[in-house]
Amino acid sequence: MISRRALLGTGAATTVAAAALGGAALTHRLDDIARSVGIKPHPEPDPSDSRLLARVAADQNSLLAMVEATAGAHPALSLDRYVSISTSHATAVGVAGSVPDVASPSTDPTTAVSALSSAYAKAARTRAGDAVEAVSPALVRVLASMSAGLFQCADAIKGVR
């Protein structure tokens, strides 16, 4: 799994500032999302999906930054899997062109992991609502699946020591 920093290094990253994704750009983004997770693309983007996708991308990139910051601050914790999953999520919806600002993780590992679990749970609930809000069936499925993966992370990360 290529890390976000590596992606940025290749210049292949898309920018979340493309929050104003136009119709054609959104079509490509949704097609990419659908293909990346094995769904046949559905070539009829809805304008509301554009706004939703931009918000999801911003959220997921912030979460990725938080996970990366925690992994960097606590290398003894085995957070590779979580970095990988969050990178997959951010890659699916659009990797940020710059690292979002996030609060420094707690120096206490237990508190830091607890904060990550809460952040995953919050993102999971939000993505579940987003899935129902989405118009494109491909986006519905990607966001619903992403939500389920985030709930898994929220649960499983509690066991990280």
Partner 1 sequence: MTATQALQGWLELEHESVWLFPVIGAQFEQLAERARRSHDAHLRTRDHLLSRLQVLDIEPVPAKLSYAVGSLRTPEQAIRLARRLEQAVAAACLTFAGETSDQDDQKYAVKLLRRAAEAELTWGGRPRAFPGLPSQP
31-50 footprint of partner 1 as x/- string (CB under 8 A):
------xxx-----------
Residues 101, 62: Cα–Cα separation, whole Å: 7
Q: Which of 109, 126, 138, 161 binds partner 1 (CB under 8 A)?
A: 138
Query: Nearest-CA neighbor of 67 among 48, 54, 81, 47?
Result: 81
SS3 percent helix, strand, coil of the chain, rounded to 5, is 70, 0, 30
**Host H or E run for residue 111:** helix 109-133
Long-range contacts of 36-45 (CB under 8 A, 24+ apart): 36/91, 36/92, 37/92, 37/141, 37/142, 37/145, 39/138, 39/141, 39/142, 40/138, 41/138, 42/136, 42/137, 42/138, 44/136, 45/136
Neighbours of 106 (CB within 10 A): 15
Q: Which of 21, 53, 54, 131 binds partner 1 (CB under 8 A)?
A: 131
Q: How far is the CB of 75 from partner 1 (least distance, A)?
A: 20
Q: Which of 27, 50, 61, 147 binds partner 1 (CB under 8 A)?
A: 147
Q: How far is the CB of 107 from partner 1 (least distance, A)?
A: 25
Contact flag: residue 146 with partner 1 (CB under 8 A) = yes
Count residues near partner 1 (CB under 8 A). 31
Structure tokens at 48: 């509301």
Span 84-123, contacts to partner 1 by CB under 8 A: 84-85, 88-89, 92
Residue 17 or 42: which CB sits closer to partner 1? Answer: 42
Residue 29 or 89: which CB sits closer to partner 1? Answer: 89
- Positions touching partner 1 (CB under 8 A) are 37-39, 81-82, 84-85, 88-89, 92, 124, 128, 131-132, 137-138, 140-142, 144-149, 151-153, 155-157
